[in-house]
Each structure stands twice: as C-alpha cells, then as structure tokens.
Chain A
C-alpha cells in the first residue's frame, strides 16, 4: 500500500458526460501528479500540483482540468467525455522537493466511457 488513495476505483459513464476523480496524497506529500494509462498511448503525464499551485502540465486535453485543495487532496475533472478517454487514471504523490524525490502511485481509477 503506497499510502495514496484514489476514488472511485471504477467509473462507467456515457459519452458527453462529466466525471470527477479524487486523490488523497500520502501524509506529508505536497506534490500531486495525474497520469493516464491507455492501450494506445501508454502511461502519460497529465498535470502536477505542488502545495495548491499548478507546477507542470503535460499532454492534458482542454476538456480536462484539475486542482489541488488546501488539504492537499486533488481532483481531476474530465468533461465532454469521448470513447477514447477510457483509460486507467493514476494519481501519484511525492514530498515535492524538486528532483530529489520519488513518486508513489495510487491504485488508479478505471474509467470506461460507453
């Protein structure tokens, strides 16, 4: 158990809908990261937050957004869902000291868009 929690574990929804994925980092970690794992794209970095502020952005679609709250939990919002958004979404956390720490991953949320 990495100490990172993600809810829900599974999510099934329809095209055009909006969903919110939630992540709680390990105790003491200030950085949260979101990654998407799909069959065609592999594991891709989406976005990173550090202590409430966006720090880095990867291949995140405009339909997707995220935020980190004062209690350090994070939410990833996916809107206008398409079939191709079906994937495993991972949250990871780290202490947040640049370039010296390790990311620990949560169990993931499997999103299925029908």
Chain B
C-alpha cells in the first residue's frame, strides 16, 4: 500500500535561511505521481508542484526547488532565502497509477515557521 512520510512535524527558521522539507514515499507501482501542496494559515490547500515517476529532473521555481531521487524514494523540497510569507504547513502527496481513481495519499505535513 502507498505511504508518504514527512518526518519533520515542525521546523522553525529565521528569515533568509534556507530550509529543506523531507518527503519519503512507499509504493509498489512503477508509475506514480508526487505532489507538494502548501496550506497557509488561512487554511486552503495550494498546489505547488507535480512530478511523475519517470522524470527525475530536479526543478527550480524562483526560491523553490525540488529534489526527486527514486533510489531513496524521496522528494524533498527546499526553500531558499525563506520569507515570513513561507510560513505554512507543507504536504507531500502520492498518487499511484494502479489506483482506479487519482486519489492522493498525503503525508502528515511539516509546519514551517519563518521568524523575522
């Protein structure tokens, strides 16, 4: 069965520090999709990135970057030069091709607090 683990429940940094959020997943499927979502204090879930299992290229979007490593079943998220507005709970999620639908299995989330 699929599983997503975010071992860091809470991280606190000072503004301008770099921070990496870890995500480890388990799946028996060879085709799967990985996601990161952000949940700011207002509560909504905001989509950040989607990666499929055949694309191990790292991605950078502004201050955000993602490191996908199939060998270690990890999909880590780094925020460079963090800002107070980055304070949120971040969720990593997995969707397997074997599933009839596209259901997402979420990790427990990492609460990031960026202090000024």
Contact = CB atoms under 8 A, between A and B. Distances in A.
Interface string B102-114: 1111101100000
Interface string B32-65: 0101010000011111001000000000000000
Given A42-B109, A99-B31, A108 B103 contact: no
B102 A103 contact: yes
Classify the interface of chain A: helix, strand, loop or mixed: strand
Contact of B101 (A2, A35, A56, A107): A56
A31 interface: yes
Interface of A: 2, 31, 33, 35, 42-45, 48, 50, 55-56, 58, 88, 90, 92, 94, 98-99, 101-108, 110
The 3 A-B residue pairs with the shortest CB-CB distance, nearest first, are A56-B101, A105-B45, A43-B106
